[in-house]
Structure 1
Amino acid sequence: MTEIGQKHTKSLKATKPMQNHGYQSRPKKRKQPSTEEPISISLSEERISAIKQIVLRDYLNKAPSLLIFNSISKLGTGYVEETIINFIKSEFKKQCRTDTFNQNALQVIYVDVPQQKNSSDCGLYMLQYVENFFKDTKTTLDAIPYLHDWFDDRTIMRKRRTIESLILEKASKFLNLSASL
């Protein structure tokens, strides 16, 4: 039972209707819980995450958002946000011919995505984020910001092999074409 249930169980039991023995009694005044007394509710981490997700989804439907998928967030994220917002401001100025871009109207969301284990796989991770995002956009948007288990390291290894094979195939065709000239 939660703390709320434990604290107020006695007062709830006292308010149950009593048997009437032929006379009418006045209802007893219940003591109201003190407003100074803190009420705490214990929620599981899963429940808290679900509530945050619902609130975020509602917000995403109403405001422009910048979703940041950073595969190496352990190095910091501030520079990423600043760089992207400066780019958006620059493009806004060019396209709209005004400096009135309201940065505060843009909600910046750092998506919890799979993290790379080295400093060389950022391109592979970026390609995988884009592929997964467009594969099922609605499901992805519903899951934001919690996509940390979106894919595993094996997916990145397969992507690396696929790109390597494609490069070797194209290089081979180019070399065969060059040799025939």
Structure 2
Amino acid sequence: PCILIFDSLKGDNRYDVVNILRQYLQVEWNLKKRDVEGERVFDRISMKGSMVNCPQQPNSSDCGIYVLQYVESFFLNPISDFTLPLVLPNWFTSKQAMSKRLSLSKLVMKL
């Protein structure tokens, strides 16, 4: 298992996010699984974390569009090799991401 951070703006606190997620997983395990499945440690060795080198948004307003595109690409074009660090700069084009806004608009109008 690993924690992958897909950040379309490469924020400053990206490594803090991995540590916070590890802490969260540790608390959840301790509360819900420890009594049944025993101890487990979520640290840098057992739960690696990495920032994915992925397509970046060109502005400060398309983060939601990029999140949706990351999710869609993750399911349509699954990552087969999780060797870290992951380098996916051409995972999708900016044109694909930008067309997401129009697709969503059409879907909403259809519904």
Q: Which has the higher helix share?
A: 1
Which of 9, 14, 17 aligns to 1:80? It is 14
TM-score (normalizing by structure 2): 0.73
2 CA distance for matches of 1:116 and 1:152? 10
Partner of 1:145: 86
Partner of 1:104: 44
Instruction: Tell me the alpha carbon deviations over residues 140-181 of structure 1, each in whole angstroms, 9 at most, x when there is no partner.
Output: 647x622101111210121110001122333xxxxxxxxxxx
2 CA distance for matches of 1:102 and 1:95? 9
Q: Which runs of 5+ in 2 are unaligned?
A: none
2 CA distance for matches of 1:160 and 1:70? 19
> Given residue 121 of structure 1, which amino acid in structure 2 is its aligned partner?
D
Ranked by relative contact order (alpha carbons within 8 Å, sequence separation 6 or more), the top structure is 2
> Given residue 134 of structure 1, which amino acid in structure 2 is its aligned partner?
F
SS in 2 for 1:109: strand
Q: Which runs of 5+ in 1 are unaligned?
A: 1-63, 171-181
Which of 64, 70, 77 aligns to 1:123? It is 64
How is 1:10-49 mapped onto 2 (pairs within 5 angstroms)?
none
Determine what percentage of the aligned residue pairs are the same residue: 29
Partner of 1:158: 99
Number of positions where the alignment pairs a residue of Structure 1 with one of Structure 2: 104
Q: 1:138 to 1:118 in 2, by over 3 A?
A: closer
RMSD, aligned α-carbons: 2.7
CA contact (8 A) 1:116 1:122 kept: yes
1 CA distance for matches of 2:19 and 2:30? 16
